[in-house]
């Protein structure tokens, strides 16, 4: 009886630990994504004018088993309408024009965007998009209102900005989803020296990187952080 009484607390602990491991494995909350950098140049599927804007080498997102999900090529320099004071204190994406190119992405496997829409394997451009203020997109759709909108590379050949209505229509038609493919952008409070991945609540995984800023076509020495949510979905979906 003494032995049983002594084993009682241990048994309770073992049950809790086993239950936790089982829950994390089955529920998916314990999955860990990772990244690695590659020297691969953006593929020729990306139009040459856009490809020239991109950095050499990609950031590759890996699933918990180490399998490649996607490669991201970030834009080297991003134009902004920022004042000298904003460059000192930190530029946000509201100082960058909507539809500006932020990079390119290749999905190696079928994936889902922030709206749980299916994204087919392939090459896409990444452009900046603001959440529309049309009454259909409310505060419960996302925590932040800036997104990467993806367009099939075969449908996006020019570096020029795209008029808002055409921009959204092109994104939707390009993916045949009825709505553009989107991935939420999070602020990056501390700019990383090298790309990094962060786990966020509700099984969101964000890849943080940075790009240099230009104003009026001139280098500024300042950077903007790009927090790209590649894993995770809107609570409204």
Q: What is the DSSP string of 51-97?
A: HTTBPSSEEEEE-TTS-EEEEEEEBSEEE----HHHHHH---GGGS-
pLDDT of residue 136: 53
**pLDDT surpassing 80 at residue 93:** yes
Region of 9 (left: φ > 0; alpha: ψ -120 to 50; beta: rest) is alpha
User: How far is it, in rounded angstroms, from Cα 100 to Cα 18?
Assistant: 49
Domain limits, the chain: 1-30, 32-231
Closest CA to 71 of 38, 112, 29: 38
Residue 20 has pLDDT above 80, yes or no: no
Average pLDDT over residues 34-60: 97
Give me the DSSP letters along 113-181.
Answer: -TT--EE-SEEEEEEEEEPP-SSSS-TTS-S-SEEEEEEEGGG----S---HHHHHHHHHHHHTSSS-E
The token pair at 124 is: 């896409």
Q: Per-residue pLDDT for 90 more than 90?
A: yes
What's the mean pLDDT when you consider all of the chain?
A: 85
> DSSP assignment, residue 220?
E
Nearest to 148 by CA among 219, 211, 221: 211
Tokens of 191: 């700019």
Cα 72 from Cα 124, distance rounded (Å):
10
Half-sphere exposure of 227 (CA within 13 A, CB side): 21
Give the mean pLDDT of 209-233: 97
Q: Is the pLDDT confidence value at 176 over 60?
A: yes
Question: Which two three-digit tokens encode residue 71?
Answer: 């490669």
Question: What pLDDT shows up at residue 133?
Answer: 63
How does residue 171 score in pLDDT terms, banded at 50, 70 and 90? confident
Look up residue 223 and give its two tokens: 């950077």
191, pLDDT greater than 90: yes
């Amino acid at each position: 009886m003494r032995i049983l009484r002594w084993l009682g607390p241990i048994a309770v602990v073992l049950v809790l630990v086993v239950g936790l491991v089982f829950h994390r494995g089955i529920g998916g909350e314990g999955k860990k994504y990772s990244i690695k950098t590659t020297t691969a140049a953006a593929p020729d599927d990306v139009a040459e004018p856009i490809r020239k804007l991109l950095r050499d080498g990609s950031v590759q997102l890996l699933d918990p088993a180490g399998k490649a999900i996607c490669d991201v090529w970030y834009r080297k320099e991003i134009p902004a309408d920022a004042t000298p004071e904003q460059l000192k204190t930190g530029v946000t994406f509201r100082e960058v024009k909507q539809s500006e190119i932020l990079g390119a992405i290749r999905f190696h496997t079928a994936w889902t965007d922030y709206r749980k829409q299916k994204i087919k394997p392939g090459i896409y451009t990444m452009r900046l998009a603001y959440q529309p203020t049309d009454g259909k997109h409310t505060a419960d759709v996302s925590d932040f209102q800036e997104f990467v909108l993806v367009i099939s590379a075969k449908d996006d050949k020019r570096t020029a900005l795209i008029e808002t209505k055409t921009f959204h229509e092109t994104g939707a038609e390009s993916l045949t989803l009825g709505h553009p493919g989107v991935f939420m952008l999070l602020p990056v409070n501390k700019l990383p020296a090298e790309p990094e991945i962060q786990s966020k609540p509700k099984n969101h995984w964000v890849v943080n990187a940075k790009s240099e800023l230009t104003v009026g076509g001139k280098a500024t020495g300042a950077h903007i952080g790009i927090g790209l949510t590649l894993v995770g979905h809107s609570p409204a979906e």
